[in-house]
Amino acid sequence: MEKVNLITSRTVVLPVENVDTDQIIPARFLKATSKIGLGKNLFADWRFDADGKPKADFILNRPEASGAAILVAGDNFGCGSSREHAPWALHDYGFRAVVSTSIADIFRNNALKNGLIPVVVDRAVHEKLLAAPDAIVTISVEDQTLTLADGTRTSFPIDPFARFCLLNGVDELEFLLAQEPAIAAFEKSRAG
């Protein structure tokens, strides 16, 4: 996994609550057997009409959204299914962080394993972000801070182990594989 620490970018604001994984990537795109290239299907039914033409009023289709790496969304982002295709699609599209007042459990776990930082902020900071789309924001994984354009800094929680993995580019699977003796001992203790 690539190391991740500082992310500085303009924000894209999607002020919708409970954005579910069926919106992030509809199920018909889950027939892929690779995780590469899913960004083209990100928010497919919100981005494109039935003929596949971009809907002009959807935020990702506006010129100011181009190149932005931080998505600010409403409460309970990523609810619904366990599909890791959701963070794969967001990351492939170019997002590196999602900011909300809360983020669904499975989505958060999946995001952290793919270099997509789930950032949970309080309502006051969230409202500031919603009110100022296109603001330049800096996120630091090491400091666990989000810094607004006006210099206001807020801290956010992140699982210490996930933070360690992000900062050092450690794949969780490598860590688990190194626990083989403990796993073998556990299996032996149960068999006895």
Partner 1 sequence: MKPRTMFQKIWEAHLVRPASADTPAILYVDLHLIHEVTSPQAFTWLREKNLKVRRPERTVATMDHSTPTTPRGRDGKIQVLDNAAALQIAALEKNCADFGIELHALGSDGQGIVHVIGPELGLTQPGAIIVCGDSHTSTHGAFGALAFGIGTSEVSHVLATQSLLQQPPKTLAVTIEGTLRPGVTAKDVILAVVARLGIGGGNGHVIEYRGSAIRALSMEERMTVCNMSIEAGARAGMIAPDETTFAYLEGRPRAPKGAAWDKAVAAWRSLPSDPGAAFDREEKFDADKLEPMITYGTNPGMGISIGGPIPAPSNATAEKALAYMGLTGEKKLLGHKIDVVFIGSCTNSRLSDLRAAAGIFKGRKVAEGVRVLVVPGSQAIKKAAEAEGLDRVFREAGADWREAGCSMCIAMNGDQLKPGQYAVSTSNRNFEGRQGAGGRTFLASPVTAAASAITGRITDAREMV
Cα–Cα dist 63/55, whole Å: 13
* Residue 159 bridge partners (DSSP): none
Among 23, 68, 71, 95, binds partner 1 (CB under 8 A): 23
> Which amino acid, 109?
N
Query: What DSSP string runs through 67-123?
Result: T--EEEE-SSBTBS---THHHHHHHHHT--EEEES-B-HHHHHHHHTTT-EEEE--H
Q: Please report how close the Cβ of residue 90 comes to partner 1 at its closest, in angstroms.
A: 13
Only segment of 3-11, 54-62, 70-78, 136-144 that touches partner 1 (CB under 8 A): 70-78
Among 5, 76, 140, 145, binds partner 1 (CB under 8 A): 76
The answer to whether 41 contacts partner 1 (rule: CB under 8 A) is no
Cα–Cα dist 174/74, whole Å: 34
Specify the residue, 114 or 138, whose C-beta has the smaller distance to partner 1: 114
The contact mask relative to partner 1 for 144-163 (x = CB under 8 A, - = no) is ---------------xxx--
Please report the beta strands in the chain, taking only residues with DSSP state E, as ranges in sequence order: 6-14, 70-73, 97-100, 117-120, 136-140, 145-147, 153-155
Contact assessment for residue 124 and residue 148, using Cβ atoms and an 8 Å cutoff: no
The answer to whether 17 contacts partner 1 (rule: CB under 8 A) is yes
Number of residues that bind partner 1 (CB under 8 A): 51
Q: Which positions touch partner 1 (CB under 8 A)?
A: 15-18, 20, 22-23, 26-28, 30-35, 45, 50, 74-76, 79-84, 102, 104-106, 109-110, 113-114, 159-161, 164, 172-173, 175-177, 179-180, 182-183, 186-187, 190
